[in-house]
Chains A and B, each alone.
Chain A
């Protein structure tokens, strides 16, 4: 264990404040909660909406390019599992998620489960009792890409959160969650 560090500031609170001031908006309670929770948003969605469903839009292994390698702190060319999903309730899209998982940092069992395409990463983490640290890297607004526009049918700004999960001092998941800014206002 390291020697005593200084108490860290609340990064999420500061980022939300910045985002609100910069864009002259106020995030709702739920939007703030979704930004601040440790771990995937699906846990909260499950509790609030009854269990939500998962569509896997894409899932495959690929070689990490520079951007992904930097996100995961791995070498360019290392194998990475890409998962692109949409969480929905009765067909209504709630949150789009993109994640990168470095193959070499997962056990074979976890990789097998990921590739089965039938379980959320959250559930896999839960089942395998994986101990982690969550670090929220960024919270921001972005314009929807064509894909996101097609998924949500909403031509408006998207609220985005990027976070990583750390296990055994290594990044094991980089994840991005996206939803329209008009969602979760109630």
Chain B
């Protein structure tokens, strides 16, 4: 029998511990899970709340600026799909998310789904059997901008994370998810 300390997720543990330490508060189990899961958040929320709904606030194609180009590893000026969505349950906003998806890395079917319907990205990946892995880049606390204050109806601090979904060794999408620090403390 062999015993070994499992350090596979050390970086992730360090990230969440650092944020908790700097903020001076302990996060709930659900918050920690939502911030660190390497799978789809929609899948988790779906199971916890029953079917959740996606509302697309904005969705358009644009030329990547320097910052966006860096996030998804494309040349500046390349076309990307920008999506801004709210995951909600019965009208109550749960999580706000933005994503950048390089057009050159999507096939027509995925592009069509991104444009035409309120389908979560996790479900799009599942629907098309896309093999992928996720790399969490940052976990942090942020002050809400005016848009987030309006969406969530609060000016409290926000928990945020951003990550990339990688397919065929290339970044298929960059996603940032944000929710108020008082969310998911009870469930």
Task: Tell me if chain B binds chain A.
Answer: yes
Spell out A's residues near B (CB within 8 Å). Answer: 1-5, 7-8, 10, 12-13, 16, 29-30, 32-33, 35-39, 42-44, 46-48, 50-57, 87, 117-120, 122-123, 126, 129-134, 166-169
How many Å lie between the Cα of A60 and that of B64 in the bound state? 50
Q: Could you say which residues of chain A place their CB within 8 Å of the CB of B113?
A: 4
Count, chain B residues at interface, CB 8 A: 49
A4 in contact with B112 given A13-B47, A42-B6 (CB within 8 Å): yes
A-B contact count, CB below 8 Å?
150
How many angstroms from the CA of A143 to the CA of B30 in the assembled complex?
29
Within 8 A of A (CB), among B117-153: 119, 123, 126-133
Q: A29-B30, A38-B38, A39-B39 are in contact. Are A51 and B133 (CB under 8 A)?
A: no
- For A7, give the chain B residue with the smallest CB separation: B127
Which of B13, B43, B166, B169 makes the CB contact (< 8 A) with A46? Answer: B13
* Given A33-B47, A131-B131, A56 and B2 contact (CB-CB distance below 8 Å): yes
Q: Closest CB-CB distance, A87 to chain B, in whole Å?
A: 8
Contact between chains at A52 and B12 (CB < 8 Å):
no
A12 to chain B, nearest CB (A): 6
User: CA of A100 to CA of B178 in the docked complex: distance in angstroms?
Assistant: 37
Contacts of A126 in B (CB 8 A): 8
Contact: B112 with A132, CB < 8 Å? no
If over half of B's interface residues share one DSSP class (helix, strand or loop), that class is named, otherwise mixed; here it is: mixed
> Contact check: which of B6, B29, B40 meets A29 at CB < 8 Å?
B29
- 17 A-B interface contacts by CB (under 8 A): A2-B109, A10-B43, A13-B50, A29-B29, A33-B48, A36-B43, A36-B44, A37-B43, A43-B36, A43-B38, A53-B5, A53-B6, A56-B3, A57-B1, A123-B6, A131-B166, A134-B39
